[in-house]
Structure 1
Amino acid sequence: MLELQDVCFTIKKSGESINLVDHVSLDIPKGHFMAIVGPSGCGKTTLLKTIAGLNPESAGALLWEGRNLSQEGDFSPSEMGYVPQFSIAYDPLTVDESVEAATRLRVKYDSTEELDDRIDKVLEETGLAAISDRPVKVLSGGQKRRLGLAMELVSNPKILLCDEVTSGLDPRSEREIVHLLHDISRKEGRIVMSVTHSLAHLELYDSILVLHEGRVAYHGPPEKLTHYFSVKDSEEIYPRLANQAPERWQASWLKHKDSYYAMLVEERRSRIERGELSVKSYPAGTDVPDRATDLPGFFSQFATLLSRRWRIFFRDRGQVFLQLAILLCFPVLVTLFSDKASGNIRRYSDRMQDSVYEEIQEQQSVRADQAKVGSAISGIIMFQVVLLALMGSNNSAREIAGERPIYEKEKFAGLRPLAYLSSKVAFLACLVIAQSLWMALFVNFFGTFRGEFVEHASFLLLINASMTAICLAISSLMRTAEQASLLSIYLVGFQLPLSGAVLALPEHIEAFTRPFISAYWAWSGSVEALQSQVHGAVKSVIDTSLSAQESCLFTLYVHIVVALVLAWVGTSRPQWE
């Protein structure tokens, strides 16, 4: 049995404490199908999230099978199924692939046959077997609701919480979903609680909970609902609620609670006698078997996530085309300017000139050549660095923030944040390596890097990795993809002016900004890898001091490590809307 004892959820608003859930007390036995109804803003979803553990109760207690969830540990991921209002499946995947991924992430299985049997059973139970090969993006609203239920049922939860799963559906689809939830509640003594604004099909529920401004106004049999509120039709209940303060409705309910609960107990007894409800009981003194499903290990979750990410990537034609366009066009842009950096750098003649005038002319000519070639080489190196920084931003700015709702839901269901973050790092590492090495090889083949190629390629790889990691951290810390993208664009935009490669900054500004500018360290390290004569040409035209290669490497590695730590913080902390 699930028991709520004077449960409250309180928030602070303008310095005042407001109870969104106000002293709610309920008894919900196994095998029970309950609707939570009430006007908009009455606290239906808030109560559901409080039961789920997404909102920590401010007062009172929640008990499950006699266990105080606040003191003795919350529901295990397999005990609780939570179906939110939004879709929890990726559009490019099929129905079968979505359910399979959910099963692999939530259930530890011994064989492929066991996995397939579990998937087939859930698809059959939710009526999705006939469309299992259909992509999620073409499903109707009702089919997506069924898919959400299927992805929760894979772990065989003892409690299923559904938040507005009938919202926005046509009457037929709504009726089908309510019937499906009714059938699900009849299997294995499962509690099903459904938040709904609709007052249709109430006869299918075992009990109706009516909330008014966070307080219980009624909880009893559906057939007694209109009688209790003294109305002829259920549609008149919401206007009726507005006629009295929530405190009065709550006080009235407390007076009549025992009699209505007695009706629920009698109806439950009748259902058991008729064979409509089967709830196993165990003799006193015996241990109740723990049927909680074990979670798969870290590597199993990691492999599932990585495989799913690559599958989504290759099915998103727009993303694949964008990556290919960037991969091909950016190096071409660099090579268009490479001719300017390929000119010879004149040296001073060993022979003494005949006159001072000719000596001055030679010095001016040599310096002009050095300035021309040195400026071009410095600019091309920075061009590569900034383009790779832009690639890094494009790689990861939306990687986590863009799928935040699905990730938070999967984390609630038992997904390890470390497995999730590791799968993202592995996926992005492949992009970073391909982009950076292709840039270095392409430019070196069609142009010429006049220095140590391996060292230059290493710095290109590190600037891409650094910016990818930093933008991944931003993506993990921001709530929306738009926020993450905007901040990442600003970050890349400031790389060039704050690097000092084009125009030297004032010393007090440079000393403060330089440690944070990845582009400077990649550019400086690449310049230090140039041949001595070319290095001298570049030094002759820049005002910014260069750092040793060891310092550049160390700083870029620090950027990557710090960014990954921040990404870990962002993925670990709860950010459920």
Structure 2
Amino acid sequence: MLELQDVSFTIQKDGESVNLVDQVNIKVPRGHFMAIVGPSGCGKTTLLKVIAGLNPESAGGLFWEGRNLSIEGDLDASDIGYVPQFSIAYDPLTVDESVEAATRLRVKVRNMEDLDQRIDRVLEETGLAAIADRQVKVLSGGQKRRLGLAMELVSDPKLLLCDEVTSGLDPRSEREIVRLLHDLSRKEGRIVLSVTHSLAHLELYDSILVLHEGRVAFHGPPDQVTHYFSVHDTEEIYPKLATQTSERWQSSWMKHREPYYTKLERNRQRLVDAGSLEMPRQEEAPDPSATTPLGTKPQPEKVRTPGFFTQFTTLLSRRWRIFFRDRGQVFLQLAILICFPLLVTLFSEDAKGQIANLSDTRQTDIKEMISEEAMVKKGQVQVGSAVSGIIMFQVILLCLMASNNSAREIAAERPIFEKEKFGGLRPTAYLASKVTFLACLVLAQSLWMAVFVNMFAPFRGGTGGFESHIIFLLLVNGGMTAICLGISSLMRTAEQASLLSIYLVGFQLPLSGAVLALPGAVESFTRPFISAYWAWSGSVKALEPKVQDAVQTVISTSLSEKQVCMYILAFHIGAGLIAAWIGTRRHQWD
């Protein structure tokens, strides 16, 4: 049984405490199907989130089978299912792939046969077996609701919470979903709570909970709701609620609820006696020596959450599948990979020039001496400017690639991630899958940028110079990718994350000092945060001395040593990953 005793949920608004849920007292037995209805803003979804543990109750207690959840902790992830208003499946995946991923993330299966049986069973239960190979993006609204239910049923939850799963559906689809929820409540004593605006099909529910301004106005059998509110039709209930304050409705209900609860119990017992309600056996400690009598249904095994590695490999495999099925994203990555290095090579001609040395024999003619010095100076300026510009161009373009890689990576799928985290997904497994996926992009982009540009404008480095340049390109791409991933995990929307990441990249060039030296006070404050400076400075330091001197003739910004640049860029990667870790662990359920 699920029981709420004086449960309240309070928020602070304009310096005052506001009760969104106010002293709710209800009892819901096993195998029960309950609708939560009421006018908009009455606290229906808030109450559902309190029951789910997403909103911690401000007062009162929640009890499950006699266990105080407020003190002893929430239900296990496998014992509770939550179907939110938004879609919890990825459009490029098929129905079967979506259910399979949900199963691998939530259930520790014994073998492939166990996995296939579980998937097939929930597809049959939800009526999706015939369209298992269809992609999510082509499903109708009703089919997506069924898929959401299927992805929750993989763990055989004892408590199933549904938030507006019938909203926006046509009358036929709405009735089919309500009928499906009704049937699910009849199996294994499952409790199903459904928040709905609709007052249609109430006869399919075991009880109706009517909320008004966060308080209980009624909780009883559906055939008694019109009688209680003294109306002829259920559509008149909401206008009737407005005729009295929520305090008066709550007070009235507390006086009259006992006979309604008595009738609810009689109706439930009638279903049990008729065999229409499948109740689970009382859970007891297993006896190894005991045998299961013939004809007795064995006690189902406790569903366990998979380990880190299983969740990590499932997420990584799913991410690559989604990537390759998104043709627009694949074409964009290929276009960036090809076009950005080509842009750099447009400025490669001057970088091939040779820097003339002053003659060892001093010229006696002053004009010839001045002419020779001018020629050497011109060559230094030409080569130094071209080499410095090409290095910085590579760095900035890789920063743009990094922003494109990860700015939306978490923020764009935050609702799905929060839902999967609620179902038992480890944030560390999720973050590890993202880092692995992005690391592959960083390697491909950075190596191709370095190698391709080097074919047209060979890197003018000494021993190990080109290798050092590759390392700096990898570090700056990795650092900016990690920082943008951190931004993506901390922002509430993908648009916010993209905008902030673009601004971050946009300030890299002017604040790097590669074009114009910054004032000392500004430079000392901004330089530690500018990844482009450290990659550019380290690569310049990897040039052969003559070319390095040529670069320093055209810049007025001091350069840092290679080791220092590597350490700072490595720190940027670490800082970005720490921010991403904090963001993934933080609760951001909207």
Which TM-score bucket, shorter chain as reference? over 0.9
Amino acid at match of 2:337: L
CA distance in 2, matches of 1:265, 1:182: 17
Report whether the alignment pairs 1:439 with 2:452. no
Counterpart contact for 2:11–2:20, Cα < 8 Å: yes
RMSD between aligned residues = 1.4
Q: How far 1:360 sits from its partner (Å)? A: 2.3
Which residue number in structure 1 is paired with residue 508 of structure 2? 495
Which residue number in structure 2 is paired with residue 540 of structure 1? 553
Counterpart contact for 1:94–1:136, Cα < 8 Å: yes
Q: How far 1:278 sits from its partner (Å)? A: 2.7
Amino acid at match of 2:332: L
Which residue number in structure 2 is paired with residue 365 of structure 1? 375
Which residue number in structure 2 is paired with residue 478 of structure 1? 491
Deviations 1:220-266 (A, max 9, x none): 00000100000000000000000000000000000001111001011
Question: More displaced, 142-151 or 273-282?
Answer: 273-282
CA distance in 2, matches of 1:179, 1:265: 21
Which residue number in structure 1 is paired with residue 321 of structure 2? 311
Report whether the alignment pairs 1:266 with 2:279. no
Which residue number in structure 2 is paired with residue 461 of structure 1? 474
Q: How far 1:281 sits from its partner (Å)? A: 4.9
Deviations 1:431-481 (A, max 9, x none): 000000001110111221111111111111111001100000000000100
Query: Which of 543, 548, 564 does residue 577 from structure 2 map onto?
Result: 564
> What percent of counterpart residues are identical?
72
CA distance in 1, matches of 2:52, 2:553: 66
Which residue number in structure 2 is paired with residue 406 of structure 1? 416
Report whether the alignment pairs 1:300 with 2:310. yes
Query: Which of 330, 340, 348 does residue 338 from structure 1 map onto?
Result: 348
Which residue number in structure 2 is paired with residue 184 of structure 1? 184
Q: How far 1:276 sits from its partner (Å)? A: 1.0
Query: Which of 326, 329, 343 does residue 336 from structure 2 map onto?
Result: 326
Deviations 1:17-40 (A, max 9, x none): 000000001100000000000000
Alignment of 1:58-97 (within 5 A): 58-97=58-97
CA distance in 2, matches of 1:520, 1:310: 33
Which residue number in structure 1 is paired with residue 110 of structure 2? 110
Amino acid at match of 2:309: F
CA distance in 1, matches of 2:127, 2:24: 35
Q: SS where residue 77 of structure 2 aligns?
A: coil
CA distance in 2, matches of 1:284, 1:408: 33
Deviations 1:515-569 (A, max 9, x none): 1100000000000010111111001111000000000000000000111011000
Q: SS where residue 349 of structure 2 aligns?
A: helix
Which residue number in structure 1 is paired with residue 292 of structure 2? none
Counterpart contact for 1:79–1:292, Cα < 8 Å: no
Which residue number in structure 2 is paired with residue 249 of structure 1? 249
Q: SS where residue 217 of structure 1 aligns?
A: strand
CA distance in 2, matches of 1:255, 1:20: 23
Q: TM-score, normalised by structure 2?
A: 0.96
Deviations 1:107-152 (A, max 9, x none): 0011000000000000000000000000000000000000000000
Q: SS where residue 62 of structure 1 aligns?
A: strand
Query: Which of 352, 366, 369 does residue 356 from structure 1 map onto?
Result: 366
Counterpart contact for 1:477–1:567, Cα < 8 Å: yes
Which residue number in structure 2 is paired with residue 160 of structure 1? 160
Q: How far 1:280 sits from its partner (Å)? A: 3.6
CA distance in 2, matches of 1:382, 1:277: 71
CA distance in 1, matches of 2:79, 2:204: 24
Q: How far 1:428 sits from its partner (Å)? A: 0.3
CA distance in 1, matches of 2:254, 2:205: 22
CA distance in 2, matches of 1:169, 1:369: 73
Counterpart contact for 2:187–2:279, Cα < 8 Å: no
CA distance in 2, matches of 1:284, 1:477: 44
Q: How far 1:284 sits from its partner (Å)? A: 9.9
Amino acid at match of 2:46: T
Amino acid at match of 2:412: G
CA distance in 2, matches of 1:395, 1:368: 40
Q: TM-score, normalised by structure 1?
A: 0.99
Report whether the alignment pairs 1:418 with 2:431. no
Which residue number in structure 2 is paired with residue 507 of structure 1? 520
CA distance in 2, matches of 1:134, 1:553: 48
Q: SS where residue 402 of structure 2 aligns?
A: helix
CA distance in 2, matches of 1:291, 1:60: 32
Q: SS where residue 188 of structure 1 aligns?
A: coil
Q: How far 1:359 sits from its partner (Å)? A: 1.9
Q: SS where residue 78 of structure 1 aligns?
A: helix
Which residue number in structure 2 is paired with residue 551 of structure 1? 564
Counterpart contact for 1:450–1:534, Cα < 8 Å: yes
Counterpart contact for 2:281–2:299, Cα < 8 Å: no
Which residue number in structure 1 is paired with residue 48 of structure 2? 48
Which residue number in structure 1 is paired with residue 126 of structure 2? 126
Deviations 1:381-419 (A, max 9, x none): 000000001100100000000000000000000000000
CA distance in 2, matches of 1:33, 1:427: 42
Amino acid at match of 1:388: L
CA distance in 2, matches of 1:219, 1:144: 30
CA distance in 1, matches of 2:227, 2:257: 14
CA distance in 2, matches of 1:83, 1:340: 61
In structure 2, stretches of 5+ residues that fail to align are 288-297
Q: SS where residue 7 of structure 1 aligns?
A: strand
Q: How far 1:282 sits from its partner (Å)? A: 3.6
Which residue number in structure 2 is paired with residue 449 of structure 1? 459
Counterpart contact for 2:399–2:480, Cα < 8 Å: yes
CA distance in 2, matches of 1:441, 1:275: 73
Amino acid at match of 1:310: W
CA distance in 1, matches of 2:375, 2:314: 63
Deviations 1:195-226 (A, max 9, x none): 00000000000000000000000000000010
Q: How far 1:88 sits from its partner (Å)? A: 0.1
Counterpart contact for 1:76–1:292, Cα < 8 Å: no
Amino acid at match of 2:445: Q
Which residue number in structure 2 is paired with residue 520 of structure 1? 533
Deviations 1:331-380 (A, max 9, x none): 10011110011111111111111223332232222112101110111011
CA distance in 1, matches of 2:36, 2:134: 32
Q: SS where residue 338 of structure 1 aligns?
A: coil
Q: SS where residue 503 of structure 1 aligns?
A: coil
Question: More displaced, 327-336 or 274-283?
Answer: 274-283
Q: How far 1:290 sits from its partner (Å)? A: 8.6
Amino acid at match of 1:386: I
Amino acid at match of 1:479: R
